[in-house]
Amino acid sequence: MSLTVSFRVSSIEPHFGATPLPLYHRKLLPEWLLGGLSTLPVLLRVRVQPECTTAFDELKLGKKFKYIIYGLTNGNTEIEVVKAAPAAGSSEEEAYEDFMAQFPENGCLWAIYDFAFKTAEGAPRNKIVFYAWSPDGAPIKAKMVSASSKESLRKSMSGIAVEVQGTDFDEVSFDTVLEKCMKGR
């Protein structure tokens, strides 16, 4: 005899067909699943600070910043702006090298970069690129928090053209991102 457990999408209430789970089966499920969203584990409850979206809008609309680095507060409860680099000054390659220097070898972060490039026809283009940096050397808990919090940050921003998930520096290199920008994804 096999037993199949399914979940109602509307209430996250486990059930067998139309019959709710008996009390003794509820003990097998995590507390947060039975209690709804208010009891989600702390890992999943991360708030995006308003400064994050304000800085993004200044990068996107005002071209005030070349890139923005985001990280978690010490308590892992909020996403904050760690660094916002001014747009003026250096060449695209120098700006990208400075940007890459912000990526830790053993820590997770998110970033937005205003990527300027030329198309195959030579026309100048800019695309806003979202980076989710989760290197192999990062602690497992940091990777879990980063992965579960990414969508909160990503959804607070509209107008991102390309998303890059990086676990090593080759995946976020200038040439790799340029190729993604040229393809438009």
* Domain ranges across the chain: 6-40, 46-183
Instruction: Please tell me the predicted confidence (pLDDT) of residue 75.
Output: 82
Taking CA atoms, 84 is separated from 80, 105, 151, 169, 180, in Å, by: 11, 20, 20, 21, 23
CA distance linking residue 171 with residue 46, whole number of Å:
26
- pLDDT higher than 50, residue 37: no
For the domain covering 46-183, report its CATH number.
Answer: 3.40.20.10
Query: Is this model's pTM higher than 0.85 or not?
Result: no
Q: How many CA atoms lie within 13 A of 160 on its CB side?
A: 20
Residues 51-75 have a mean pLDDT of 93
Burial status of residue 69 (CB atoms within 10 A of its CB: 0-12, 13-18, 19 or more): buried
Residues 2-19 have a mean pLDDT of 48
CA 40, chain centre distance (Å): 19
CA distance linking residue 41 with residue 37, whole number of Å:
9
CA distance linking residue 128 with residue 16, whole number of Å:
46
pLDDT band at 16 (very low <50, low <70, confident <90, very high): very low
Alpha-helix runs per DSSP H in 61-162: 92-100, 140-155
